[in-house]
């Protein structure tokens, strides 16, 4: 069976954090940290860029606002114009709550969708789930996994590297 990744555990949050910095500095590309809670400053320690989720939020928001404006104009001023209280058929003022709420609604859907897209979820299977050690991440284990598809990956060297940066319980996870 081919190797999917090599995983190593770390004893506490600071050593986990500094180990991540070392993996980043060693030039590995296909690797990740695993912890049951978000570690403050970890994206920088892993050398990851800012999340792209807000792009999806923005797209959702713009769609919502446009849709809101369109339905109010189409339904009230184009398809079935009706005089009520001498008010104009269409104005950006009176139906503003509609546009406002739809902006927020679709921006929220954009955000949730964006979180799934950027995280490549749903993905119900991953070889890491087969590892007993990995399952303990849900409790208090802090794990770094370097994947075999990383260009720098070398079974023996990577294992040694993880040991050098303080990793314990090193395990090879097969694909």
Name the one range near another protein by CB under 8 A: 1-9, 70-78, 154-162, 164-172.
Answer: 70-78
Report which secondary-structure segment, H or E, holds 31.
Answer: strand 31-34
Largest Cα–Cα distance in the chain?
81
Which of 54, 59, 166, 171 lies at the binding interface for another protein (CB under 8 A)? Answer: 54
Interaction of residue 65 with another protein, rule CB under 8 A? no
- Concatenating the DSSP letter of every residue in 68-99 gives HHHHHHIIIIIIS----TT--S--SSTTHHHH
Name the one range near another protein by CB under 8 A: 1-9, 122-130, 153-161, 162-170.
Answer: 122-130
Residues in the chain: 175
Phi and psi torsions of 89, nearest 5°: -65, -40
Interaction of residue 86 with another protein, rule CB under 8 A? no
- Considering only residues 144 through 163, tell me which ones interact with another protein, judged by CB under 8 A: none
Interaction of residue 84 with another protein, rule CB under 8 A? yes
Which of 25, 27, 92, 140 lies at the binding interface for another protein (CB under 8 A)? Answer: 140
User: Measured between alpha carbons, how far is 137 from 59 in angstroms, rounded to an integer?
Assistant: 34
Q: Which is closer to another protein, CB of 125 or CB of 151? A: 125
- Residue 13 · residue 33 · CB < 8 Å: no
- Considering only residues 8 through 37, tell me which ones interact with another protein, judged by CB under 8 A: 12-14, 16-17, 20, 32-37
């Amino acid at each position: 069976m081919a190797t999917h990744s090599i995983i190593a555990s770390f004893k506490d949050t600071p050593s986990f954090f500094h180990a991540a910095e070392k993996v980043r500095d060693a030039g590995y590309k296909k690797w990740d940290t695993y912890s049951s809670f978000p570690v403050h400053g970890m994206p920088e320690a892993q050398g990851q860029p800012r999340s792209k989720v807000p792009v999806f939020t923005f797209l959702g928001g713009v769609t919502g606002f446009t849709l809101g404006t369109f339905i109010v104009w189409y339904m009230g001023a184009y398809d079935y114009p009706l005089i009520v209280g001498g008010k104009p058929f269409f104005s950006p003022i009176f139906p503003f709550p509609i546009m406002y709420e739809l902006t927020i609604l679709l921006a929220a859907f954009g955000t949730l969708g964006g979180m799934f897209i950027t995280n490549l979820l749903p993905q119900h299977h991953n070889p890491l789930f087969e590892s007993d050690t990995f399952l303990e991440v849900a409790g208090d284990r802090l794990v770094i996994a370097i994947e075999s598809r990383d260009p720098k990956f070398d079974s023996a060297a990577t294992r040694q590297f993880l040991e050098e940066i303080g990793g314990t319980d090193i395990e090879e996870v097969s694909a």
